[in-house]
Amino acid sequence: MEKYDEVLRMARALIEGEPEDVPNMANLSALVFETLADVNWAGFYTVTAAGGLLLGPFQGKPACIRIARGKGVCGTALETGKTQWVPDVHAFPGHIACDSASRSEVVAPVFRAGKVVAVLDVDSPVRDRFTADEVRFLEGIAGLFGENGKEA
Ligand code: SME
C-alpha cells in the first residue's frame, strides 16, 4: 500500500490549486494508467444535467460516449453510489464492452456535496486483476478529484 500512498500524494500535488476539472481528469487518468500494470483503459465519465454519464478524459482505446444511469458497470456505480469491483466482466449482467479485451474492471464514484458527479473507470485484460489495496487506491484518486473541484 505504501506505493499507492506515494502515488496518492503525487496525485494531490498534480491537481492542487487547479480548479478546472478537465485537465485534472486528464492528468489523473494518465497517472492511474502509468501506475497500474495490465490496465487497458483508465478514465472518467461525468454526470450530465440529464443524469446520465458522458465520456471524459481517459487513456486507452476510444470508448462509448454516453452510458445511461443504471446501465453497465459505470451506470451501476452512478446509481448505487458504490464502488463496483468486478473480477470478471463476462459475469456482470449488462456489462458494456467498449474494449473487447477487458476482463476485469473497477469503477469508483466521485462525490461532491454528497452527490455522484463522475465515475473513475479502470479496465484490465486480466481476469481478477485488481486487489483490495488497488481498489482503495482508485477510491482515493476519485476522492481527491471530488474534493478538489470548483463545485466542491
Ligand atoms: N465497461 C463499462 C463501459 C465503459 S468502458 O469499459 C470504458 C461499463 O460496463 O460500464
Domains of the chain by residue range: 2-148
Say what the pLDDT of residue 149 is.
80
Handedness of CA 135, 101, 68, 65 (dihedral sign): positive
Q: What is the pLDDT of residues 77-125, one digit of tens each?
A: 999 999 999 999 999 999 999 889 999 999 999 999 999 999 999 999 9
Q: Which atom of ligand 1 is nearest to the CA of 97?
A: 1
Is 119's C-beta closer than 6 angstroms to any atom of ligand 1? no
Question: Phi, psi (5° rounding) for residue 96?
Answer: -105, 115
Say what the pLDDT of residue 151 is.
55
Q: What is the pLDDT of residues 40-72, one digit of tens each?
A: 999 999 999 999 999 999 999 999 999 999 999
Residue nearest to atom 1 of ligand 1 (CA): 96
Question: What whole-number distance in Å separates Cα of residue 33 and Cα of residue 24?
Answer: 14
| Of 1 and 103, the one with more pLDDT | 103
**Cα 33 to ligand 1 centre (Å):** 16
Say what the pLDDT of residue 98 is.
87
Cell of 83: 464502488
**Cα 17 to ligand 1 centre (Å):** 30
Is 14's C-beta closer than 6 angstroms to any atom of ligand 1? no
Q: Ligand 1 test: best mutation among 74, 78, 80, 102, most atoms within 8 Å of CB? A: 74
Is 72's C-beta closer than 6 angstroms to any atom of ligand 1? yes
Say what the pLDDT of residue 152 is.
42
**Cα 98 to ligand 1 centre (Å):** 6
Architecture of domain 2-148: 2-Layer Sandwich (3.30)
Question: What whole-number distance in Å separates Cα of residue 152 and Cα of residue 150?
Answer: 5
SS3 126: coil
| pLDDT for 1 beyond 80 | no
The angle subtended at Cα 92 by Cα 86 and Cα 93, nearest 5°, is 155
Mean pLDDT, range 24-44, rounded to an integer: 98
Q: What is the pLDDT of residues 13-23, one digit of tens each?
A: 999 999 999 99
First to last CA, the chain: 27
Cβ neighbours for 127, distance < 8 A, ≥ 6 positions apart? 87, 88, 103, 104
